[in-house]
Amino acid sequence: MIENYRHINILKESVCSKFPYFMGGFDRQYEKFGDDWASAFNRELEIFFGSDDGRIESAALGYGAFCLDSMKLQVEFNKTLEYRNKTYAEASSEVYQNRDYMFGLYLPGILISHYLWEHHYVQLKFYEKEVIPQIEDIDNPLIYDVGVGTGFYTKEYLRRVESSQVVGFDMSPHSLEHTEMMVKRWDFSERYQSRLGDILERDQTELCDVINSIEVLEHLENPVEFLHGLNKMLRPGGLGFISAAINAPNADHIYLYRNADAVAEQIQTAEFTILSQTVDQAYEPRKSGDIVPTNAAFVVTK
């Protein structure tokens, strides 16, 4: 029973006290993914938020607000079929460089979405099945996580591959701060370093064994240029895990992918070879013609 998981219950009660219509999301995930999901989610909350219930309550407010914002934009998107016109500089100023927004809403929202949004959790399971087994045999793999966001995947690599070293790159100092907090709370700080700035302006001489970039492409004006940048950072024969959001308006989504093929085409243009992929919808369309946010994730090599 989901009630057996203390931290999930604190989160659920906090979310539902402010946003009662989100109640079903918790129960649906539990019904679909069971105790494996609940156990992992509870552990995530327990380690990141600790015993301070106030932290979870605050994150719950951020998560709810983040979802409301995104869903409202989705209704608008279903009518216009376009993202709101925004430059990277505008999105950066509004979101990535805005500490209050990042820590109050954006980062807690994304962190919790890894477990509460079906397509994000399916992506995590795909990563566990398709990516991790290919890294376990590499001695002391060097992993670059480009666009760390909350630090969720950085932490996942450090947790699942004990000999790994991870370097996190991001344009947002707040994302890097959040990632450092994440890594510290999981006690992995000794195997993690961070780099602030644009990878395209960096001369990264040491090539990595694994490159990770989760839902970064849709935030960029020129994702192909960025993908070429990722390719340059990866050693020949190395592994990549790259994903993108499709038809998913958000305050900082700039580049509109209308289907997974468009993402795959750009990945191949950047001279990656796709090994496997998963394409997952956030939820079943309510009625014919509704466009649903979708996630496409690719395991690639060079």
Partner 1 sequence: MTTIEQLQPIFRSVFEDDDLIVTREMSANDVENWDSLNHITLIVEIEMYTGLTLTTEDLISLANVGDFVDMLESKGFVPNGAG
Lookup result for tokens 């993402």: 263
Query: What is the nearest approach in angstroms of partner 1 to the Cβ of residue 80?
Result: 12
DSSP H or E stretch at residue 277: strand 273-281
- 208 with 234: CB under 8 angstroms? yes
**Binding residues for partner 1 (CB under 8 A):** 18-25, 61, 64-65, 67-69, 71-72, 74-76, 283, 286
Q: What is the DSSP letter of 22?
A: G
What's the CA gap between 51 and 10, in Å, rounded?
11
Beta strand ranges found along 81-217 (DSSP E): 142-146, 165-170, 192-196, 208-213
Q: Is 63 exposed, middle or buried (0-12, 13-18, 19+ CB in 10 A)?
A: buried
C-alpha–C-alpha distance, residues 248 and 72, integer Å: 11
Structure-block tokens of residue 168? 């996190």
Distance (Å, whole) CA 199 – CA 301? 19
Compare residues 24 and 133 and give the one whose CB is closer to partner 1. 24
Q: Residue 286 Cβ, how far from partner 1 at the closest point, in Å?
A: 6
Q: Rounded to the nearest whole angstrom, what is the least distance from the CB of residue 154 to partner 1 in the complex? A: 28
* Distance separating alpha carbons of residues 148 and 141, to the nearest angstrom: 18
Q: Which is it for the CA torsion 147, 167, 264, 150, positive or negative? A: negative
Report, in Å, the least distance between residue 73 CB and partner 1: 10
Choice between 104 and 173, CB closer to partner 1: 104
Min separation Cβ 240 and partner 1, Å: 34
Burial of residue 168 (CB within 10 Å: 0-12, 13-18, 19+) is buried
State which residue, 25 or 229, has the beta carbon closest to partner 1.
Answer: 25
Q: Minimum CB separation from partner 1 for residue 23, in Å?
A: 8
Is the CB of 78 or the CB of 204 nearer to partner 1?
78
Nearer to partner 1, 138 or 292 (CB): 292
Residue with smaller CB distance to partner 1, 71 or 200: 71
Q: Which is nearer to partner 1, 23 or 81 (CB)?
A: 23
For residues 61 and 296, which CB has a smaller minimum distance to partner 1 in the complex?
A: 61
Q: How far is the CB of 22 from partner 1 (least distance, A)?
A: 5
The rounded distance, in Å, linking the Cα atoms of 58 and 107 is: 12
Smallest distance, partner 1 to C-beta of residue 83, A: 17
